[in-house]
Amino acid sequence: MQRPYMTTFNARKRALILRRLFLWILAIGPGVIGMVADNDAGGMLSYLVTGSQDHLQWFLPALFVMAPLTYVIQELALRVALATRLPYSQIISRKFGRTVAKFNALVLHSLNVMILVTEFIGMTSALTLLGVPWTLGLIVSLILVLGVTSFRRYRQMERMLLILAIANLAFIPSLITLHPSVHSWRSAFSGSFTGETAFLLLSLAGNAIAPWMIFWQQNAVWAGNVQNLTSGRKDIRLGIIVQVFMATVVMLIGAFTAHVAVTGRNPLLWLQHYGGTTAAALFAIGLFDAGFLAASTISISSAWMVQEAFASKLHDRSQSPTQGPYAVLHIATVSVAALVVLLPHLSAARIALWAQALGALWMPISLVMLGIIASDRHLMGTMVMHHQRQIILTGTILIFILLAFCTFVG
């Protein structure tokens, strides 16, 4: 017979667990969205290509090394957001001048357009594999992205994006259906280091942390529901765990599908040919969701960057940056990126890799600016970046520079 006080104790324990779980769910926000969106369609295609090269002894350790570095960078962006309570372009403008803020916004906006092209390629390729004609798939993708990003209130959009992130889980059953052999495991870790390996590592680093993510974290905190450092850190940590896990899953899919590297314009056709229709279809579902989530998130981040760099005054923090006088720019940006997909002879795999690599090349500049801002005691107050994190940030900058050097010189 169960004692009454034990029943009361268990009920209180369950209530405490449910309360903590509820508070943890409430803390989920821009950190998780940003990290999951960073595993975008272009990123997932680049991970698939990377995994197929049989160099996982280089790529998986690099992926896990980038995780704490990504945390440091995103946590710095969080600190800047909480300390200044300003959009990131406004902070750059005050620290470095409006000209620098405008130039930085235009450069990153251009990079984001290239990334958006890879998102639409990924989404359209996924729908095509599932039986939707290419042009119709592109139109559907464009309408959906414009529809989700048309929410007037940021928090409504954030909740919608979090719900959409669930479909990323389709990559897991795609991996399970491959049934890799012992030989497949050995082969996946057998490749030697080459110049192509360096380029793939640069692309991997550019996908692990991209310049737009700093703006997204900073501005989403400014406009959203993260009110303190503790909840924001939990949000970022969860996002990084999800990002690294899903990236590992997709690289393993590339490694276990075949002993032949990805070739051709559409990596999904390679996966379907060597891995089977079921694995490819599940991958396509995850890929469409990844592209959809990233296209929505990156286009919002771009709208924030340009609007705050060029606007004469701050916009309503509860209003989505895709509304107001810059709505036309947002629609034009997304539409142009979609139209580029109609150009013939586009290689989805190569464009995806170069989009991530170009972002990695600009990353040192973005990190230098972030470091200078985070070290400014006048701006940051008690949240100023300490010496230990300055060393970590400097090391991260050097890693990006070294990878770029090995890629283009080696």
**Percent of the chain scored above 90 by pLDDT?**
18
Per-residue pLDDT, averaged over 211-232, amounts to 73
User: What is the pLDDT, as a whole number, of residue 118?
Assistant: 86
229 neighbors 82 (Cβ within 8 angstroms) = yes
Q: Tell me the chain's radius of gyration from C-alpha atoms.
A: 21
How far is Cα 233 from Cα 75, in angstroms, rounded to an integer? 7
Q: In the prediction, which pLDDT does 99 show?
A: 93
Tell me the pLDDT band of 337, cut-offs 50, 70 and 90: very high
Lowest-confidence pick of 26-40, 70-84, 131-145, 329-343: 26-40
pLDDT score of 269: 85
Side chain identity at residue 49, one-letter code: V
- CA-nearest of 321, 399, 341 to 367 is 399
Compute CA distances 290 → 253, 259, 311, whole Å: 16, 26, 31
**Tokens matching residue 270:** 């390679």
* Distance in angstroms (rounded) separating the CA atoms of residues 319 and 356: 30
User: What's the pLDDT at 280?
Assistant: 92
Which pLDDT score, from 0 to 100, does residue 350 have?
Answer: 72
Q: Using an 8 Å Cβ cutoff, are 258 and 269 in contact?
A: no
Tokens of 264: 């051709």
What is the pLDDT, as a whole number, of residue 12? Answer: 66
Residue 206 main-chain phi, psi, to 5 deg: -65, -25
Both structure tokens of 391: 């060393």
Stated length of the chain:
410
Residue with tokens 């600016």: 369
| pLDDT value, residue 318 | 59
Q: Band the pLDDT of 34: cuts 50, 70, 90.
A: low
Higher pLDDT, 230 or 117: 117
Structure tokens, 157: 């959009």
Spatial contact of 244 and 41, defined as CB atoms under 8 Å apart: no
**pLDDT-above-70 percentage for the chain:** 76
Q: What is the pLDDT of residue 22?
A: 47
d(CA 187, CA 191): 8
Residue 319 pLDDT > 70: no
pLDDT band at 8 (very low <50, low <70, confident <90, very high): low
- Least reliable range by pLDDT among 10-14, 18-22, 94-98, 317-321: 18-22
Reported as a single tens digit per residue, the pLDDT across 77-124 is: 888 888 888 888 888 998 999 999 999 999 988 888 988 998 898 899
pTM for the structure as a whole:
0.80
Residue 66 C-alpha from the chain's centroid: 13
Contacts of 343 (CB under 8 A, 6+ apart): none
Give the CA-trace dihedral at 285, 287, 291, 293, to 10 degrees.
60
pLDDT (tens digit per residue) in 369-405: 999 999 999 989 888 998 888 898 999 899 888 877 7
Cα separation, 31 vs 229, whole angstroms: 12
- For 114-170, what is each residue's pLDDT tens digit? 889 988 988 998 999 999 999 999 999 999 999 888 776 666 666 777 777 788 888
pLDDT range class, residue 67, cuts 50, 70, 90: confident
Residues 6+ apart with CB under 8 A from 202: 356, 357, 360, 361, 400, 403, 404, 406, 407
pLDDT for residue 223 is more than 90 = no
* 184 against 214, higher pLDDT: 214
Assess whether pLDDT exceeds 70 at residue 264: no
Residue-wise pLDDT tens digits, 247-262: 899 888 988 887 666 6
Max mean pLDDT among 35-44, 62-71, 202-211, 303-312 falls in 62-71
CA distance 269 to 393: 40
d(CA 47, CA 364): 22
Strand, coil or helix: 30: helix
Integer CA distances (angstroms), 179 to 94, 97, 174, 277, 390, in order? 55, 56, 10, 14, 45
CA nearest 298: which of 6, 27, 28, 33? 33
Question: Whole-number mean pLDDT of the chain?
Answer: 80
- CA-CA distance, 292 to 365, in Å (whole number)? 28
Band (pLDDT 50/70/90 cuts) for residue 321 is low
In SS3 terms, 225-289 reads as CCCCHHHHHHHHHHHHHHHHHHHHHHHHHHHHHCCCCCCCCCHHHHHHHHHCHHHHHHHHHHHHH
Over range 239-244, report the average pLDDT: 85
Residue 229 pLDDT grade (very low, low, confident, very high; cuts 50, 70, 90): confident
Q: What is the pLDDT of residue 285?
A: 93
The Cα angle at residue 74 between residues 197 and 111, in degrees rounded to 5 = 55
Predicted local confidence at residue 37, as pLDDT: 56
Query: 60: closest CA among 309, 325, 245?
Result: 245
CB atoms within 10 A of CB 336: 12
